Amino acid sequence: MKNTLIIGAGGVGGVVVHKCVMNKAVFGTITLASRRLESCQKIADQLPAGAIGIAQVNADHTDEVIALIQKTKADIVINVALPYQDLAIMDACIATKTPYLDTANYEHPDLAKFEYKEQWARHEAFQKAGVMALLGSGFDPGATNVFCAYAQKHYFDTIETIDILDCNGGDHGYAFATNFNPEINLREVSANGRYWENGKWVETKPMEIHFTWDYPEVGEKESYLLYHEEMESLVKHIKGLKRIRFFMTFGPSYLKHMEVLQNVGMLGIEPVEHKGQKIIPIEFLKTLLPDPASLGPRTVGKTNIGIVAEGMKDGKRRKIYLYQVKDHQECYREVKSQAVSYTTGVPAMIGAMLMLQGAWSGQGVFNMEQMNPDPFMDALNAHGLPWQMVELA
């Protein structure tokens, strides 16, 4: 019987817990830990009594995580807290020789920048500990990385270009709200854009490059070029790639709010003095905005996330679109969450399942596309995220 420790009782954490409980034969005894015990209790209350154990932990402190891993005898740690906690939790896993999985790469709280450098730097330490760390097992990063690996394995000899297309066609009825942690989301979309072409990164102004794409089951949406973390590992691992870009859809109301908030300084990450107290504008904004976990019951519509890949197969040019569509209300009925948390939490559960079952194994730090994509793609179909592939040319 395995022991599973999940850290972070937010929107994504809730989905991971529900899905692990549905697959208890794999996950065994499940403990959910978070900074506030009441966040864990809220999720535990959605489940049959005794389905999970709960614990309080401040995951910024490696020693607290070590103590919890030892107490729960965890066979795996699923980190769905915030990116700020990644390194402290990874270090606790190294110290206790425990496999590790997360869904987002490390961010320093004081720098609006994210990169894999510090997590990749722990490769040798994980090798020495003899265990695996799997980075970015959400949807994007996560399923999108596996889509690329699957396309590489089954549909192409060489992939030349990839566009990752992320559309949330959901409507929550608020003028402005974010679908996952507002601080992380707003930092991501207000930063300069960046894509990779002919061996180097090309920087763009925020929202400078955009185009209209017709998303199956959602419709036409304006899609904006952003920098997104999975590109950093994909350019290393997809051989022969000439260009990779990432696009996300935003509605006019979201963009107008973003512009105003940016102009008045509400997206700032530097502390400002307010009536004798120091406050960080973006943290204060988070307090004002709806909690993403509360959007579940009111969000209608669908998400559609996928990749368009173009390259050569058997001497012929080929272009494919591999995508996944998920309905917000269907997710809410199943696990009391909207589709953005669902599409992140299910791949986290699947990655952990493949690690516990030994289908995905290794010693060191790995990104998703380094693993055999086949069992992951089968598991997406089996656990609520069926995908489709269409030929575009």
Ligand X SMILES: NC(=O)c1ccc[n+]([C@@H]2O[C@H](COP(=O)([O-])OP(=O)(O)OC[C@H]3O[C@@H](n4cnc5c(N)ncnc54)[C@H](OP(=O)(O)O)[C@@H]3O)[C@@H](O)[C@H]2O)c1
Instruction: Tell me which residues touch ligand X (CB under 6 A).
Output: 7-13, 34-36, 39, 57-60, 80-83, 85, 103-104, 136, 138-142, 180-181, 184, 292-293, 341, 344
Measured from the CB atom, is 310 or 341 closer to ligand X? Answer: 341
Structure tokens at 269: 């990450």
Measured from the CB atom, is 188 or 310 closer to ligand X? Answer: 188
Q: From the CB of 338, what's the least distance to ligand X, in Å? A: 10
Instruction: Tell me whether residue 270 is exposed, middle or buried, using C-beta atoms within 10 angstroms of its C-beta: 0 to 12, 13 to 18, 19 or more.
Output: exposed
CA distance linking residue 181 with residue 247, whole number of Å: 19
CA distance linking residue 128 with residue 22, whole number of Å: 34
Helices (H), the chain: 11-22, 24-27, 37-44, 62-72, 86-96, 117-120, 123-129, 143-154, 182-190, 230-237, 252-263, 281-288, 328-335, 339-357, 373-382
Instruction: Tell me whether residue 123 is exposed, middle or buried, using C-beta atoms within 10 angstroms of its C-beta: 0 to 12, 13 to 18, 19 or more.
Output: middle
Residue 309 region by backbone torsions, left for phi larger than 0, else alpha for psi between -120 and 50, else beta: beta
Q: From the CB of 64, what's the least distance to ligand X, in Å? A: 8
Q: From the CB of 77, what's the least distance to ligand X, in Å? A: 12
Measured from the CB atom, is 152 or 168 closer to ligand X? Answer: 168
Q: From the CB of 374, what's the least distance to ligand X, in Å? A: 21
Nearest to 215 by CA among 150, 142, 306: 306
> For 392, phi and psi rounded to 5 degrees?
-100, -25
Measured from the CB atom, is 96 or 310 closer to ligand X? Answer: 96
Measured from the CB atom, is 36 or 97 closer to ligand X? Answer: 36
Measured from the CB atom, is 59 or 307 closer to ligand X? Answer: 59
Peptide bond into 141 cis (omega under 30): yes
Q: Specify which residues 224 forms β-bridges with.
A: 210, 248
Q: From the CB of 43, what's the least distance to ligand X, in Å? A: 9
Measured from the CB atom, is 8 or 99 closer to ligand X? Answer: 8
- Give the β-pairing of 100-102 and 76-79: parallel
Q: From the CB of 385, what's the least distance to ligand X, in Å? A: 12
CA distance linking residue 351 with residue 357, whole number of Å: 10
Measured from the CB atom, is 78 or 151 closer to ligand X? Answer: 78
Q: From the CB of 281, what's the least distance to ligand X, in Å? A: 18
Residue nearest to ligand X (CB): 10
Q: From the CB of 85, what's the least distance to ligand X, in Å? A: 5
**Which residue's entry shows tokens 């859809």?**
249
